Chains A and B, each alone.
Chain A
Amino acid sequence: MEAEFEKSKNPEEDERPIEVARRAPEVSEDVNSGAADSFSHPPRDVIIYSAQSSIRNPVQLIRDIFTDFWLGRGLAWRLFLRNIRGLYRQTLLGLFWAFLPPIANTAIWIFLRQANVFSMGDTQVDGTVYILTGMILWQAFIDAFQMPLAMLNKNRNMISKLNFPREALLLVGIGEVVFDLLIRLLLLIPAFLIFQVPVHTSILFAPIAILGLVLLGAALGLLLMPIGSLYQDVGRFISMVLPFWMIITPIIYVPLTSFPGSLLNWVNPASPLLLLARDWLLLGTTSHFTTGLIFGAAAIPMLLIALVVYRISIPVLIERMTA
């Protein structure tokens, strides 16, 4: 074995000037001789793959991430259309499947409340609309949270065999979460009419809070994706805690205001933005603006870090997919 290692090399060599970069744009004229259908490629940057961590050049890394989001938009749109079309082409009930989970959940909780199993507190609007709204928002958060791992698993084959902007998959994932969310939000229209909920101008701000909620969920999911992909324990753990997580999120009851229950609103990342979004949708006033703002602001750097984790972990995960 020893002899094979003798040809060790100086890590500095990685930094030496790249002669390939001076590739002249003479491709087409050179090969044109006789060929009827020759290729003409514009000169391109040199792609370099090395062992070095891309995080050493963070500015470039962030720029690459956004470039790939941009480059991947076409693919993302195609895949999004493919999934949506594929999803509903082979179902009898079609879009109804998007409506079903929040309706079923709401129905159960309303039934339990009617049976006085628990008390919701003063919801200020009709309890059904209150729970339904909460359920729709919660579903969006959880969908976004589970999206990265689901996208990775669903597209394993493609990821491990083709090189394409990985960020495209996230665009698809977010697109699907938002698509489902928008469809479910349609449920609120009949709900508002039936239960005579007044419409406040604050409803115009709600999309911001909802977007923050979805992005926060996606960021958390992205951070968990590498470990979740390597160890299936993570997936099992998540599906186990989800019901509890839902219970400690104020969906079927008004948020607790007295200590120590109020602590939940601070430690549960799903709470603040969900409450803010719901207040803006239903009430017109909110007491969760500050916490919502803090969590919304925190979501942005978190998402950036999560995107870096995503980008760095994909090649490592591919090695394990095929090994």
Chain B
Amino acid sequence: MNLSRSSSSDLILDVDQVWKVYCRNLKRAMWYGLKDVGREMIGGGRDRNHHNLRAGEFFAVRDASFQIRRGECLAMIGPNGAGKSTMLKMINGLIKPDSGLIQISGKIGALIELGTGFNPILSGRENIYINAAVLGMPKREVDGLMETIVEFAELGHVINDPIKTYSSGMRVRLGFSIAANLRPELLLMDEVLAVGDVGFRMKCFAHLNELVKQGVSIVLVTHAVGMLQRVATRSVVFGEGKIVHDGDLETGCTIYEEMLGASDRVRAKQKEESGRDGEIGSVEVCNEAMEPQAEFETGETVRLRIQINARAKIKDARLIVALCSPVHGVLNSVSTPYQGIQFDVDPPGRVITLEFPKIPFLIGAYHFNISLFGPEKVDFYHRSSLRGVFRIVGPSTDANGYGINGITKLQHSWKIDG
């Protein structure tokens, strides 16, 4: 059964050309707020997607459109301040769009923050009733689900104790259990999977997968891209309020990782100084045939062509190259002395090529940090970050336990005893 591509009656959420304006200046924001209330009281809408931004205002979300069908799990990813949470708040009806339309046909269960509304003095059981009521479920329905909720949260032994005696992990478990067991048709989750211990997190993923199978749609907002593959089938990537990608998860994650890198690159450039005797010049990622290439498959050969520029002779130069991921940091670092490579650089410079045969990394974005030294530790010439960006785009990984997953492909073998 293909849930994601069926008739239009399967549409759960339709976000259509939505804009949202925010104001960072506190005094102005208050004054605008008052004016907005006043304007709405006399029937004036907001509709401000065009040139009429007021002083100090900016677009938190610009012209965003996407749809979600039944049984789809969508990941909203993007850097901080890209508009993801704002979008989620609008979908949840907490704030209004300034232009555009959001249509939802189904019961929303939101987990914008776990355990909101817990009262520390009351028992876990009493708090379940309150939380369920907040999410719109009457008491008699909660009674029917009480055991499921308590059991899922693994809190049977303390459910009658005051919440304030719970650990933070226990609260998270309770909060997730309530929201996930209240049978929403559209589940909104903002950064809630990043908490809790690994065991419970796995249980959550399994539960979410089960929900998706039963036709529940899920919107996840998270920075923990690595975990998304466990549940999400599609991604919408936000960048500066705009949707820059709507489609498969892998491409989305890669674009997001590159965006993270891009912002670092700007910072690195600002730090760069001039006037040194030797520096890293152009850096190119190539394939086996030394043709420039940016996308590879796991197991292919990646070559890095590094141009070193020199104004004066560099005797016994050392080159250190770190292969990095924007998400995981340095994955590996190699140097010329390690393999006994000795070389000098005469003006104007020379080219060094570094080869990684059968690159073991899995889907994601990668880059290099390259440092140039002389023979001694103090002979530092230049460090250049975020160079030679490339992507591993295939083959696809599988987080559900039927393939491989993670960042590298390790040689391995299984042996079944008996």
Task: Please list the residues of chain A having a beta carbon within 8 angstroms of any beta carbon in chain B.
Answer: 4-5, 7-9, 11, 13-14, 18-24, 26-27, 30-31, 33, 35, 37-39, 41, 44-56, 71, 74-75, 78-79, 82, 85-86, 89-90, 157-158, 160-164, 226-227, 230-231, 308-309, 312-313, 315-320, 322-323
A50 engages B119 (CB within 8 Å): no
CB-defined A-B contacts under 8 Å, sample of 9:
A4-B242, A19-B8, A20-B105, A38-B215, A49-B91, A50-B102, A79-B130, A162-B135, A164-B134
A319 engages B108 (CB within 8 Å): no
B22: nearest chain-A partner, CB-CB: A323
The interface stretch among B121-129, B265-273, B335-343, B397-405 is: B121-129
The answer to the question of B344 belonging to the interface, with a C-beta cut-off of 8 Å to chain A, is no
Task: Please list the residues of chain B having a beta carbon within 8 angstroms of any beta carbon in chain A.
Answer: 1, 3, 8-9, 11, 14, 17, 22-24, 26, 29-30, 33-34, 36-37, 39-51, 62-63, 70-71, 89-108, 110, 112-113, 116-117, 119, 121-122, 126, 129-130, 133-136, 138-139, 183, 185, 213-216, 242
Q: Which residues of B contact A4 (CB under 8 A)?
A: 62-63, 242
A316 engages B97 (CB within 8 Å): no
| Residue from the list A39, A46, A48, A50 in contact with B216, Cβ < 8 A | A39
Q: Which residues of B contact A226 (CB under 8 A)?
A: 33-34, 37
- Shortest Cβ distance from residue B23 to the other chain A in the assembled complex, whole angstroms: 7
- Shortest Cβ distance from residue A223 to the other chain B in the assembled complex, whole angstroms: 11
B53: nearest chain-A partner, CB-CB: A1
Using a Cβ cutoff of 8 Å, how many contacts connect chains A and B? 205
Contacts A56-B43, A158-B134, A323-B22 hold; do A318 and B94 have CB atoms under 8 A apart?
yes
Q: Which residues of A contact B46 (CB under 8 A)?
A: 51, 53
Q: Which residues of B contact A38 (CB under 8 A)?
A: 214-215
B7: nearest chain-A partner, CB-CB: A24
CA distance A39 to B96 in the complex (A): 29
Q: Which residues of A contact B126 (CB under 8 A)?
A: 82, 85
Q: Which residues of A contact B71 (CB under 8 A)?
A: 31
A161 engages B113 (CB within 8 Å): yes
Q: Which residues of B contact A37 (CB under 8 A)?
A: 214
B41 engages A24 (CB within 8 Å): no
CA distance A37 to B211 in the complex (A): 10
B183 engages A39 (CB within 8 Å): yes
A230 engages B106 (CB within 8 Å): no
A75 engages B215 (CB within 8 Å): no
Apart from A82-B122, A162-B112, what are 9 other A-B pairs with CB-CB below 8 Å? Answer: A20-B105, A26-B9, A31-B71, A41-B107, A45-B105, A46-B104, A231-B30, A316-B36, A323-B29
A4: nearest chain-B partner, CB-CB: B62
Q: Which residues of B contact A323 (CB under 8 A)?
A: 22-24, 26, 29
- 3 closest A-B pairs by beta carbon, nearest first, are A31-B215, A75-B133, A51-B46
- Shortest Cβ distance from residue B55 to the other chain A in the assembled complex, whole angstroms: 15
A50 engages B9 (CB within 8 Å): no
B92: nearest chain-A partner, CB-CB: A163
Q: Which residues of B contact A5 (CB under 8 A)?
A: 49-51
Contacts A49-B101, A51-B99, A320-B33 hold; do A312 and B9 have CB atoms under 8 A apart?
no
A53 engages B50 (CB within 8 Å): no
| Residue from the list A50, A312, A320 in contact with B100, Cβ < 8 A | A50
Q: Which residues of B contact A39 (CB under 8 A)?
A: 183, 185, 214-216
- Shortest Cβ distance from residue B131 to the other chain A in the assembled complex, whole angstroms: 9
A162 engages B129 (CB within 8 Å): no
B119 engages A8 (CB within 8 Å): no
B97 engages A50 (CB within 8 Å): yes
Contacts A35-B213, A48-B103, A318-B94 hold; do A227 and B34 have CB atoms under 8 A apart?
yes
| Residue from the list A26, A71, A86 in contact with B136, Cβ < 8 A | A71
Q: Which residues of A contact B24 (CB under 8 A)?
A: 323
CA distance A162 to B112 in the complex (A): 7
A8 engages B50 (CB within 8 Å): yes
Q: Which residues of B contact A41 (CB under 8 A)?
A: 106-107, 183, 185
Q: Which residues of B contact A30 (CB under 8 A)?
A: 1, 215
A78 engages B133 (CB within 8 Å): yes
Contacts A20-B105, A31-B214, A47-B93 hold; do A55 and B43 have CB atoms under 8 A apart?
yes
A53 engages B43 (CB within 8 Å): yes
A55 engages B214 (CB within 8 Å): no
Which of A26, A33, A48, A52 has the most B CB atoms < 10 Å from its CB? A52
Q: Which residues of A contact B44 (CB under 8 A)?
A: 53
- Shortest Cβ distance from residue A42 to the other chain B in the assembled complex, whole angstroms: 10
